Amino acid sequence: MSIADRISTIELKDLLLSLAALVIAFSVLINGRKIPDLEMILIITVGVGTGFLLHEMAHKFMALHFGYFAEYRANPMGLLFAVVASFAGFIFAAPGAVMISKPAATQAFYMQDPFSQEELRREIKKETLWISLAGPITNIVLTAFFFIALMLAPPGSTAAMAANFALFINLTLAAFNLIPIGPLDGKKIFDSNRTVWLLVGLPTILIALPIYFGIL
């Protein structure tokens, strides 16, 4: 089964809706009330598309690897708030998330006795760690890719601007999602394996902070 076959029509619609809303939000934030030109739309789409779409698809396909049902669902109110907030000069986006569930037959099999239940808990903990890591790790890899692209691109070119924006978006998304609070990936990683969070989450957040605040 190809990757395309694993994405339903509803999921594709929600992904495109989320991408469009985020591109609009960032366009408003960057350009104000001016209509962005094609170059700016392209730059924003590259950054948001890689940072958001590949992050969510990494979660999805890692979950599918472990036998879960996994599909992205948009959050209409979160998307609307992102667009409205952009007119106020900031972005806070909760575009949606990959909905994950374990097949009922698998759970029923493990619920037969206490030893099986404990095995199920250990298995879910391990799988949760990898599924949660998949998104931020994808952003970290993309950050490294766009850093190299930025170094190779001619200064001031469209390619350089796209790489610079995509680097910023991917690093920011990785760091934000690795914060160990609430429903974020970082909380699930921290709860599953604190050593992994210290090795991946903490350095990413510390690297992102000076870049986010314009110190570097």
Give the catalytic positions in this structure.
56
CA Rg value for the chain? 19
Residue with tokens 């948001």: 48
Strand 96-101, strand 69-74: pairing = antiparallel
